[in-house]
Amino acid sequence: MLALAIHGGAGTIARTALTPAAEAQYRAALHAALAIGYAVLATGGPALDAVEAAVRSLEDCPLFNAGRGAVFTHDGHHEMDAALACGRTGRAGAVAGARQVQNPIRAARLVMEATEHVLLAYPGADELALEHGLPVQPPAYFFTQQRYDQLQDALAAGRMQLDHAAAPAADPNWKKGTVGAVACDAHGHLAAATSTGGMTNKRYARIGDTPLIGAGTWADTRCAISCTGHGEYFMRAVAAHDVACLMEYRGLSLAEATRVVVHDKLAPAGGEGGLIAVDAAGNLALPFNSEGMYRASRTARGDEAVAIY
């Protein structure tokens, strides 16, 4: 029954764009996060703890667009979103536009457990984190040269750069998007967590699907979902919750419900991306309609996989 899946973003990930060394780095980071999350499940821990632990590992890795690897906004700072949902209790917490908290997913859990709210935005998200002693960091902690160079390219081109977009020829490692995790624990309880830095050169405090419960993140007694891709399409489709609805109202399996959402609904509308999902029996589904999705999974049957394309 134990099962865990993680993702590090979906989009245009050309095989020719990643050097063997770079690909090895991504695979190692995914494997490390998977091992951390699964260790929680293997020792009897709850799904909620497992997804938080896995996502925290990915947030701490500068390779991915979340936490330490978050992209720059138009104004040259970072605005990070995260959400966490517990299928056992039906509760959820999320933050949007956080700028200081080291691990936005921890702040999202704090919203769920320490307040009566679901979603807090900047500056409240950081204020709550500070009040409860969560680690915060100065802007320099979130600075990476590659992300800064991406901002300069986007400013010069006068465009916002979605975190799933094709890599410019000068930057073969442009794609490093949203991160997420879904888990089923020994009791069949489910949880999901998602975290992102958004899009390069974004303005007007834009918020994507990640912190919106039902759009980019969802968990109930049937399934847990974490999405990645073009957020506006996932929001309009309420993609994560739609999977649960297809399972409940149409009796579809997890695999079929996720296929319908990703390939039959999102893809025709232009919604590039994918999702990871798990049901209460520990079945996993990791569909995507883009060229690739950084992903990894492990089950109690001993099945373990790390993949990009």
Tell me the catalytic residues: 178
Pairing state of beta strands 80-86 and 92-98?
antiparallel
Q: Residue 103 to residues 76, 90, 128, 225: CA-CA distances in angstroms?
A: 20, 23, 13, 20
* Single-letter amino acid code for the residue at 178: T
Residue entry with tokens 């794609």: 175
Q: How far apart are the first and last CA of the chain?
A: 26
